Amino acid sequence: MNDANIENADSRKVVVTTSWDDGHLLDFKLGEILNKHGIKGTLYVALGNRERMSMNPTRLKEISEMFEIGGHTRTHTPLSGLSPERMKDEIAGCKKDLEDLLGKEIQMFCYPRGIYNDLARKTVIEAGYIGGRTTRQFLTTAGTDRFLMPTSMHAFPYTALMRCRHCMKNSNYKGLAKILKYGIGKRWHELGARLFEEAVANNGVWHLWGHSWELETHSIWDDLNELLEMIGNRDNVKHMTNGEFAASTNWATG
Name the residues that contact Zn ion, by CB under 5 A.
21-22, 112
Give the residue with the Cβ less far from Zn ion, 112 or 192. 112
CB of 116 to Zn ion, least distance (A): 13
Smallest separation, CB 50 to Zn ion (Å): 11
CB of 72 to Zn ion, least distance (A): 6
- Cβ of residue 52: shortest distance to Zn ion, in angstroms? 8
Report the residue closest to Zn ion, judged by CB: 21
One DSSP character per residue, the chain reads -PPPB-HHHHTTSEEEEEEEES--TTHHHHHHHHHHTT--EEEEE-TT-SSSPPPPHHHHHHHHTTSEEEE--SS---SSS--HHHHHHHHHHHHHHHHHHHSS---EEE-GGG---HHHHHHHHHHT-SEEE----S--S--S-TTSB--SEESS---HHHHHHHHHHTT-HHHHHHHHHH-TTS-HHHHHHHHHHHHHHTT-EEEEEE-HHHHHHTT-HHHHHHHHHHHHT-SSEEE--HHHHHHHSB-S--
Q: What are 41's strand-pairing partners? A: 18
Residue 22 or 145: the one with the smaller Cβ distance to Zn ion is 22
Give the contacts of 129 (CB within 8 A, at least 6 positions apart): 71, 91, 95, 106, 107, 108, 109, 147
Choose between 77 and 249: whose C-beta lies nearer to Zn ion.
77
Least Å distance, CB 167 to Zn ion, is 20
Report in angstroms how near the CB of residue 150 gets to Zn ion at its nearest: 17
